[in-house]
């Protein structure tokens, strides 16, 4: 498995297991790819970009993720509540990528908007993670 898929799987697993987040978006509303036809609220990883970040002896990657948190209504507050849980789990929660070790987890920024086409609120959470292959 490649590190990006490994990390994405670990994030989605941790988010799906979080009871407070499930109260905000419901069961089965966290996706690692944008859903076709799903109705908000839901969370999806919109982008996951990687770049080499090799150390002296260890190969590594920098990961930049953009996670969209959609509210069912035009409420920035509702979108931000979802975004806060996403950020907390991604930066401080128990993540267990199978073949990858995370060496840095940071929240970069959160942007909000009201989608003019649907009237729903969206928060975009940007995360920065560094990874190295695990010892396994």
- The CATH number for 76's domain is 3.30.2000.30
Q: pLDDT, tens digit, for every residue of 17-72?
A: 999 999 999 988 999 877 788 889 999 999 999 999 876 777 899 999 999 999 99
Helix (H) or strand (E) holding 24: helix 19-25
Q: pLDDT, tens digit, for every residue of 71-104?
A: 998 999 999 999 999 999 999 999 989 899 999 9
Which residue range is the domain that position 14 belongs to?
3-133
The pLDDT of residue 80: 98
Burial of residue 55, with CB atoms counted within 10 A of its CB: 0-12 exposed, 13-18 middle, 19 or more buried: exposed
The pLDDT of residue 1: 64
**The whole model's pTM is what?**
0.93
Total domain count, the chain: 1
The pLDDT of residue 112: 97
* Residues counted in the chain: 136
């Amino acid at each position: 498995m490649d590190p990006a898929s490994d990390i994405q799987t670990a994030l989605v697993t941790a988010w799906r297991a979080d009871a407070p987040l499930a109260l905000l978006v419901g069961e089965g509303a966290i996706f690692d790819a944008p859903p076709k036809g799903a109705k908000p609220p839901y969370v999806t990883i919109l982008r996951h970009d990687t770049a080499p970040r090799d150390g002296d002896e260890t190969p590594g990657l920098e990961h930049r993720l953009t996670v969209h948190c959609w509210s069912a209504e035009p409420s920035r507050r509702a979108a931000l509540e979802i975004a806060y849980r996403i950020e907390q789990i991604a930066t401080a929660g128990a993540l267990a990528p199978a073949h990858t070790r995370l060496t840095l987890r940071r929240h970069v920024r959160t942007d909000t908007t009201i989608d003019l086409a649907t009237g729903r609120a969206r928060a975009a959470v940007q995360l920065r993670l560094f990874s190295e292959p695990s010892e396994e």
